[in-house]
């Protein structure tokens, strides 16, 4: 359950009452983990995987109600921000209105607050704040379209801008300070309920990000600061032209020369916010697919070597043992599998991928070699279970049915009825009954919500991506009882 997906009458899920209510619900339902998507500001396509900063907090998540409780907003101002609590997220409307509300709160904030004074003195998020202030002043244009003195960070131009826009820069720092305050309070509450938070980070940073602008040497850019190559996935059975993500790829050799200091700082920050971290596209650390910048598709890319196991050994020498989930989905070669085995982090088993290709499918629970994995019914990139099942037809439906029935028998689970809803419940129980270290179920699958509950369609630019929110009446006693009873039945 991503923060954004929570029902809230202020346009998007926030770190206020709705988040605390969800923690209470999880506690009553006997759950011990809450997994979220990246907590970062969303960028291109409203995606948390295309963020303006890989370690900043999403300012939209700041609870307006909490600001009101502290006298930073009025009840009337709060009322003007209200929307239907279960409507889809309208990112354009948020972009046009939310920052002005937050600026009002900032205008009433006590600048002499000791914590904030120290925060600013330390330079916390100063680079990000400068980046956002310049971006605002240039109509939101990406940094590569700014005039050269700012684009190339000429010292005199930066100092002049900072002097003239001190208040704007301070606002963006305050927003991060407020996000951190609210997130820390929520996380403490969640911990008191006996629940740990699983966070998420993309492997790559966005081109239009404060990191790319401040530290262009992190990635492969030419002298004019354009990407040399960008990331993606090669053509496969699901997409004949591959996936063109557009993120610049890392200059791993240069990163290694300074001991991967940026990655160490990034992981340290994310691990300070969450208890466990899922790293997206983990196979890219062994080999990554890069496509020449400007190509219309991912067809003409190539595989290049990543930093491999040595990278993670070095991170853990600095940070200690990291609680990491390695996203190992998709086609893997022997070298990638060897790296996964060497680093030892649990991988992912997604049951939507399990059925229809015979009893040898590695995602079928009876084939899990050991408990070193996290089992999922689906992820943010999948359709919901109900949506997935309702689209099966013909030979695909027949193949699914055959594999599904055999798996129920192999796991000793009761036979299932004919309805899609009953099949959903059985697949959830399969997930729980597996030997996997942990079973993670998207709330949409607990609630048996159809395709309208899908979070993202990969490589598709759509207003439906990242915009779904669950119904405000999700927390029924019947659902709590089912979740708790399954947890007790399978010792989870």
SS3 10: coil
Active site residue 359: no
170 to each of 100, 184, 414, 442, 481, how far by Cα in Å? 14, 21, 60, 38, 47
Q: In what order do the strands lie in the sheet with 302-305?
A: 243-248, 229-233, 287-292, 302-305
Tell how far CA 118 is from the center of its chain.
Answer: 29
Contact call for residues 247 and 210 (beta carbons, < 8 A): no
SS3 161: helix
3-state secondary structure 96-117: HHHHHHHHHHHHCCCCCCHHHH
Active site residue 381: yes
134 backbone dihedrals φ, ψ, rounded to 5°: -65, -45
Question: Which residue among the candidates 327, 328, 429, 445 is catalytic per the annotation?
Answer: 327
Contact call for residues 262 and 230 (beta carbons, < 8 A): no
Two tokens, residue 126? 């100063």
Q: CA-to-CA distance for 404 and 38, rounded, in angstroms?
A: 33
Q: How many residues does the chain have?
A: 492
User: In the block, which residue shows the tokens 């053509």?
Assistant: 235
Q: CA-to-CA distance for 366 and 387, rounded, in angstroms?
A: 24
Output the CA torsion sign for 289, 292, 297, 299: negative
Tell me which residue of 101, 89, 163, 88 sits closest to 133, measured CA to CA.
163
User: Which residues, other chains included, contact 97 with Cβ-Cβ below 8 Å and sequence gap of 6+?
Assistant: 81
Q: CA-to-CA distance for 87 and 443, rounded, in angstroms?
A: 17
Question: Which residue among the candidates 211, 280, 286, 425 is catalytic per the annotation?
Answer: 280
Q: CA-to-CA distance for 450 and 374, rounded, in angstroms?
A: 24
Active site residue 147: no
Question: Which residue among the candidates 21, 124, 381, 451 is catalytic per the annotation?
Answer: 381
Contact call for residues 232 and 291 (beta carbons, < 8 A): yes
Burial-class residue 458 by CB neighbours within 10 Å (0-12, 13-18, 19+): middle
User: Which residues, other chains included, contact 413 with Cβ-Cβ below 8 Å and sequence gap of 6+?
Assistant: 426, 429, 430, 433
User: Which residues, other chains included, contact 444 with Cβ-Cβ below 8 Å and sequence gap of 6+?
Assistant: 384, 385, 386, 453, 454, 468, 470
Two tokens, residue 128? 């990000």
Contact call for residues 34 and 26 (beta carbons, < 8 A): yes
Q: CA-to-CA distance for 430 and 97, rounded, in angstroms?
A: 45
Q: CA-to-CA distance for 31 and 490, rounded, in angstroms?
A: 12
Catalytic center residues: 280, 327, 381
């Amino acid at each position: 359950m991503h923060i954004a997906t929570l029902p809230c009458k202020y346009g998007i899920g926030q770190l206020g009452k709705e988040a605390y209510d969800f923690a209470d619900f999880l506690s009553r339902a006997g759950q011990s983990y809450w997994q979220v998507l990246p907590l970062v500001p969303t960028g291109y396509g409203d995606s948390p995987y295309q963020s303006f900063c890989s370690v900043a907090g999403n300012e939209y998540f700041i609870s307006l109600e909490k600001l009101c409780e502290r006298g930073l907003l009025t009840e009337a101002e709060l009322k003007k921000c209200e929307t239907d609590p279960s409507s889809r997220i309208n990112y354009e409307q948020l972009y046009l209105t939310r920052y002005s509300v937050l600026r009002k709160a900032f205008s009433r904030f006590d600048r002499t607050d000791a914590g904030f004074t120290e925060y600013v003195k330390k330079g916390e998020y100063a680079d990000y704040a400068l980046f956002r202030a310049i971006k605002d002043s240039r109509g939101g244009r990406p940094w590569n379209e700014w005039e050269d003195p700012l684009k190339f960070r000429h010292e005199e131009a930066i100092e002049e801008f900072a002097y003239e826009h001190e208040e704007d820069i301070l606002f963006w720092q305050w927003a991060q300070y407020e996000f951190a305050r609210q997130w820390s309070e929520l996380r403490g509450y969640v911990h008191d309920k006996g629940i740990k938070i699983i966070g998420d980070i993309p492997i790559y940073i966005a081109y239009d990000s404060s990191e790319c602008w401040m530290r262009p040497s992190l990635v492969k850019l030419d002298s004019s600061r354009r990407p040399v190559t960008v990331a993606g996935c090669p053509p496969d059975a699901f997409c004949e032209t591959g996936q063109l993500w557009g993120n610049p790829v890392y200059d791993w050799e240069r990163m290694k020369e300074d001991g991967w200091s940026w990655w160490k700082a990034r992981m340290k920050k994310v691990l300070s916010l969450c208890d466990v971290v899922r790293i997206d596209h983990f196979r890219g650390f062994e080999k990554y697919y890069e496509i020449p910048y400007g190509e219309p598709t991912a067809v003409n890319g190539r595989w290049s070597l990543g930093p491999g196991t040595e990278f993670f050994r070095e991170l853990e020498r600095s940070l200690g043992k990291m609680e990491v989930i390695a996203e190992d989905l998709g086609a893997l070669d022997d070298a990638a599998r060897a790296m996964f085995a060497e680093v030892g982090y649990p991988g992912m088993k997604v049951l939507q991928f399990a059925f229809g290709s015979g009893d040898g499918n590695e995602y079928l629970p009876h084939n899990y070699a050991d408990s070193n994995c996290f089992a999922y019914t689906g992820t943010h990139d999948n359709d919901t279970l109900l949506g997935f099942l309702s689209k099966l037809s013909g030979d695909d439906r027949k193949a699914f049915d055959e594999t599904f029935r055999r798996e129920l028998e192999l796991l000793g689970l009761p036979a299932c009825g004919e309805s899609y809803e009953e099949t959903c419940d059985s697949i959830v129980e399969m997930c729980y009954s597996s030997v996997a270290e942990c079973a993670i179920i998207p709330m949409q699958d607990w609630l048996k919500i159809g395709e309208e509950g899908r979070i993202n369609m990969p490589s598709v630019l759509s207003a439906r991506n990242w915009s779904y929110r669950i119904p405000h009446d999700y927390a029924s006693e019947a659902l709590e009882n089912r979740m708790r009873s399954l947890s007790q039945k399978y010792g989870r």
